[in-house]
């Protein structure tokens, strides 16, 4: 880079003799201004500047030699004290463009970096493959899966499957929210990995893994790596995966008296709606165990349409209260849980009207797990929004 810049600048002063270059050097170190210098020496190119003027002065030869071609290395003339830069003391080669810096982009250094990168990439690939041990996965029989496990696998398949019908597409590639929040998605992923229903896929890009050689372990970017379904029947006949996309009788035969999946989904959705309202009203609040227990309880007592009305009205009230200056904002914000409890209790006691709010579809759309369960499996679609699970399962009986 130094040689390239120097060659370009030498072109801008090619009309000057060596004596004139020496004269310009004297003027430069006498603190002559840029406009005066360019006018006196008839330099018209925009590439020439006072900050780069020292590039055209005679080079200083050193005793060092280039590791590439063996020629002598040079230094630029030191610039004026008021114009010093990081390149002032960099050794460089006039013959092959090499510079004595870690970022040198000469052909020699570029090839060295390529070779080192290949070596490190191969080391990383070998280490990750040994850690994961792709060839020794033990497939699980579909017969041993619980209904919940089949449902969760089906949800991830709905989010995206490769053409081999075995490898899930990276979660980051999905345009829809798979679960109401990434926290739930990660939790489900870890659950299925722990049971070996999902394993790392060899189709994963290596750059999404970070080896920890010292501790003989590795980290990975879970939304970007790919996972494969570790089911015996799918290994034997990958098209079975289609039955998760278009559920057959075995998938539609959900437990008639078990509302736990419904309860999990509406609980996740309630937390997601609560986070949305916190952001909407700019309320600073940390969700703790008490808040989680409240939503786990209230979603069994009231349909989501009413739960969302409680969340929205409480958020609105707390936001207004925080602007009254009657107390510090953090105290106002932390009262939102009690506000929701109070509204919940009065609605159940019949003292408050049971307002049913519509889902804020644009800001908080229905997730894939919710659509898969309520649309594809239960086939009640948006009706679940105004129902309790026990209402549905009692009808099914």
Per-residue model confidence as pLDDT tens for the chain (397 residues) = 888 888 899 999 999 999 999 999 999 888 889 899 999 999 988 888 888 888 899 999 999 999 999 999 999 988 887 677 666 689 999 999 999 998 898 999 999 999 999 999 999 999 999 999 999 999 999 889 988 999 999 999 999 999 999 999 999 999 999 999 999 999 999 999 999 999 999 999 999 999 999 999 999 999 999 999 999 999 999 888 888 888 766 665 666 668 899 999 999 999 999 999 999 999 999 999 999 999 999 999 999 999 999 999 999 999 998 888 778 888 989 999 999 999 999 999 999 888 999 999 888 999 999 999 999 888 899 999 999 988 887 655 4
Please state, as a whole number, how many other Cβ atoms lie within 10 Å of the Cβ of residue 171: 21
For residue 339, CA distances in Å to 274, 329, 343, 345 come to 13, 15, 6, 10
pLDDT of residue 289: 96
List the beta bridge partners of residue 368: none
Q: Shortest CA distance to 37 belongs to which of 18, 24, 23, 47?
A: 24
Q: What would the two tokens of residue 217 be?
A: 């372990």
Q: Shortest CA distance to 203 belongs to which of 161, 244, 243?
A: 161
Write the DSSP symbol of residue 231.
Answer: B
Alpha-carbon gap, residue 222 to 128, rounded angstroms: 15
Alpha-carbon gap, residue 187 to 264, rounded angstroms: 12
Report yes or no: 209 and 225 within 8 Å, Cβ to Cβ.
yes
Residues 6+ apart with CB under 8 A from 106: 68, 93, 96, 97, 98, 99
Q: What would the two tokens of residue 75 be?
A: 């230094």
Report yes or no: 226 and 201 within 8 Å, Cβ to Cβ.
yes
HSE of 27 in the Cβ direction (CA atoms, 13 Å)?
A: 18
Q: pTM here?
A: 0.77
pLDDT of residue 397: 47
Angle between helix axes 289-301 and 336-348 (nearest 10 degrees) is 20
Report yes or no: 254 and 377 within 8 Å, Cβ to Cβ.
yes
pLDDT of residue 240: 87
Report yes or no: 241 and 157 within 8 Å, Cβ to Cβ.
yes
């Amino acid at each position: 880079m130094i040689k390239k810049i120097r060659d370009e600048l030498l072109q801008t002063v090619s009309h000057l003799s060596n004596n004139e270059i020496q004269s310009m050097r004297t003027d430069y170190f006498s603190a002559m201004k840029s406009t005066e210098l360019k006018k006196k020496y008839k330099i018209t190119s925009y590439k020439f500047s006072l900050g780069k003027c020292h590039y055209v002065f005679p080079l200083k030869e050193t005793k060092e030699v280039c590791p590439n071609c063996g020629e002598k290395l040079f230094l630029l003339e030191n610039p004026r004290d008021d114009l010093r830069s990081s390149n002032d003391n960099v050794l460089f080669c006039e013959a092959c463009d090499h510079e004595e810096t870690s970022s040198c982009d000469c052909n020699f250094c570029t090839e060295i970096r390529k070779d080192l990168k290949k070596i490190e990439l191969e080391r990383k690939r070998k280490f990750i493959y040994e850690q994961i041990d792709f060839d020794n996965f033990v497939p699980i029989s579909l017969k041993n899966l619980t209904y919940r496990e089949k449902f969760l696998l089906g949800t991830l398949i709905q989010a995206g499957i490769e053409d081999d019908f075995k490898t899930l597409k990276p979660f980051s590639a999905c345009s829809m929210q798979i679960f109401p929040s990434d926290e739930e998605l990660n939790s489900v992923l870890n659950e299925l990995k722990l049971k070996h229903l999902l394993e790392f896929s060899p189709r994963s890009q290596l750059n999404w893994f970070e080896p920890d050689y010292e501790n003989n372990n590795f980290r990975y970017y879970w939304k970007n790596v790919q996972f494969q379904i570790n089911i015996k029947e799918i290994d034997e006949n990958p098209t079975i995966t289609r039955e998760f996309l278009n559920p057959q009788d075995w998938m539609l035969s959900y437990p008639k008296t078990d509302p736990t999946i419904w309860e999990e989904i509406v609980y996740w959705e309630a937390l997601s709606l609560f986070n949305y309202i916190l952001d909407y009203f700019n309320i600073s609040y940390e969700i703790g165990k008490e808040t989680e227990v409240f939503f786990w309880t209230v979603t069994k007592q009231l349909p989501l349409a009413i739960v969302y009305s409680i969340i929205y009205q409480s958020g609105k009230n707390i936001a207004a209260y925080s602007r009254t200056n009657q107390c510090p904002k953090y105290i106002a914000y932390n009262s939102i849980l009690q506000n929701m409890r109070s509204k919940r209790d009065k609605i159940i006691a019949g003292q408050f009207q049971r307002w049913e709010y519509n889902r804020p579809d644009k800001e908080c759309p229905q997730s894939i797990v919710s659509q898969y369960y309520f649309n594809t499996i239960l086939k009640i679609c948006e009706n679940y929004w105004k129902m309790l699970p026990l209402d549905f399962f009692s009808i099914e009986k």
